[in-house]
């Protein structure tokens, strides 16, 4: 009898466009060395101006669905900070494009922690019988909310999407989703925010407020390391595991320095911390599933690996979970 949600398939989509560090340095005061040293990023993915988040999400969803063993997906969840519109949600647009008529659909906005929040939600829906199977997508077009001349954000964020199909199964199976430890501190909302467009600062022709993402990089770095480390310790303790049992740390791909520092705090060797942002940048809610999907397609993941997933994002929000990766194969 099914008592858990299990990973059935994973896929991703990256737009063809790239902006290199050299291209970025031609318009703002920075350099390839400065960006690489501080972020580990050499280039970031860029969607076309007329390519919305829903299009990225649809392509990633299609990739995951063609790899799936199930054909009765009845729920679509899109984790995103960059929806196509304020209303309606992006998920129903994606479901329609994928031909999933009648599916339950909704978005989750928990910034870079969005995929983990979506994983907890999807798992709960399946475990309680409120969904047969779920298509969970992390998708972002951060180029739509980044001020192109902001030295603090323009070098960091990229565009992309990744999707996971979850099916009913048992808690004993590889790929089963266990406890996802989530937390937040609303007092830290100003660490990363976009002020314009909500009910407090609605859009108006004479709007004086900033419509772009603004981020306190130093404070975000400090809180990200602290909160991701704490949530990882909590997740490992819940599973009665130590860091030695972790085959791969898959953290939100915010910054290579943050990833290395979290690994160091957890006493996980650097070679067991997945770094997947060099050529795509920080893709926010898409970064964890994107890193997993690309590792799967490179055959770096073969099944049976103990993964520690963790994220920190605006809100502030954070989370972590332990996942034993299933044997999915690479074909299709």
Q: Which of 161, 140, 276, 286 is nearest to 213 (CA)?
A: 140
At 275-288, the pLDDT tens digits run 999 999 999 999 99
Confidence band, pLDDT 50/70/90 cuts, at residue 265 = very high
Q: Does 204 have pLDDT greater than 80?
A: no
At 213-243, the pLDDT tens digits run 999 999 999 999 999 999 999 999 999 999 9
For residues 168 and 260, give the distance between their C-alpha atoms in angstroms, rounded to a whole number.
35
pLDDT, position 202? 86
Q: Does 270 have pLDDT greater than 70?
A: yes
DSSP string for 110-149:
-GGGHHHHHHHHHHHHHHTTS-S-EEEEEEEEGGGTS-TT
pLDDT, position 137? 99
Work out the mean pLDDT of the chain and round it to a whole number. 95
pLDDT, position 203? 79
Confidence band, pLDDT 50/70/90 cuts, at residue 2 = confident
Contact indicator for 304, 174 with CB cutoff of 8 Å: yes
Contact indicator for 282, 155 with CB cutoff of 8 Å: no
For residues 122 and 175, give the distance between their C-alpha atoms in angstroms, rounded to a whole number.
14
Instruction: Using DSSP, state whether 29 is helix, strand or coil.
Output: coil
At 23-64, the pLDDT tens digits run 999 999 999 999 999 999 999 999 999 999 999 999 999 999
- Average pLDDT estimate for 149-175: 96
pLDDT, position 17? 97
Confidence band, pLDDT 50/70/90 cuts, at residue 206 = low
The tokens describing 215, both together, are 């981020």
Q: Does 329 have pLDDT greater than 90?
A: no
Q: Does 332 have pLDDT greater than 60?
A: no
Q: Which residue did the predictor score with more confidence, 209 or 169?
A: 169
Percent of the chain with pLDDT over 90: 92
At 68-110, the pLDDT tens digits run 999 889 999 999 999 999 999 999 999 999 999 999 999 999 9
- Average pLDDT estimate for 170-187: 97
Phi/psi of residue 121, nearest 5 degrees: -65, -50
Q: Does 209 have pLDDT greater than 80?
A: no
As annotated, the active-site residues are 112, 252, 282
The tokens describing 190, both together, are 């100003």
At 114-141, the pLDDT tens digits run 999 999 999 999 999 999 999 999 999 9
* Strand partners of residue 160: 140
pLDDT, position 208? 67
Sign of torsion over alpha carbons 99, 100, 105, 111: negative
Query: What letters, b where the CB count within 10 A reaches 16 and e where it falls short, cover 76-89?
Result: bbbbbbbbbeeeeb
pLDDT, position 205? 62
- Average pLDDT estimate for 206-215: 82
- Average pLDDT estimate for 178-186: 97
């Amino acid at each position: 009898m099914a008592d858990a949600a299990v990973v059935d398939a994973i896929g991703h989509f990256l737009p063809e466009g790239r902006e290199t560090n050299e291209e970025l340095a031609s318009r703002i005061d920075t350099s390839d060395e400065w960006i690489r040293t501080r972020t580990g990023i050499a280039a970031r993915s860029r969607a076309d101006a007329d390519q919305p988040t829903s299009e990225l999400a649809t392509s990633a969803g299609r990739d995951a669905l063609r790899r799936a063993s199930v054909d009765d997906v009845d729920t679509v969840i899109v984790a995103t900070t960059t929806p196509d519109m304020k209303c309606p949600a992006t998920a129903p647009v994606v479901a329609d494009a994928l031909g999933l008529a009648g599916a339950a659909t909704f978005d989750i906005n928990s910034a870079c922690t969005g995929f983990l929040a979506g994983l907890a939600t999807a798992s709960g829906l399946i475990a309680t019988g409120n969904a047969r199977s779920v298509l969970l997508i992390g998708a972002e077009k951060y180029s739509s909310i980044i001020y192109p001349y902001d030295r603090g954000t323009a070098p960091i964020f990229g565009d992309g999407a990744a999707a996971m199909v979850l099916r009913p199964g048992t808690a004993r199976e590889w790929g089963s989703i266990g406890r996802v430890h989530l937390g937040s501190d609303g007092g830290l909302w100003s660490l990363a925010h976009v002020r314009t467009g909500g009910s407090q600062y609605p859009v108006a022709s004479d709007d004086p407020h900033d419509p772009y993402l603004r981020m306190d990089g130093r404070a975000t770095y400090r809180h990200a390391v602290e909160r991701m480390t704490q949530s990882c310790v909590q997740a490992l303790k819940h599973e009665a595991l130590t860091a030695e049992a972790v085959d791969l740390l898959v953290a939100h791909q915010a910054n290579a320095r943050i990833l290395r520092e979290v690994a160091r705090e957890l006493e996980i060797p650097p070679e067991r911390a997945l770094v997947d942002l060099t050529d795509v940048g920080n893709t926010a809610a898409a970064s964890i599933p994107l890193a997993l999907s690309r590792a799967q397609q490179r055959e770096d993941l073969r099944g049976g690996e103990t993964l520690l997933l963790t994220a920190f994002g605006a809100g502030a929000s954070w989370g972590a979970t332990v996942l034993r990766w299933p044997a999915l194969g690479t074909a299709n």
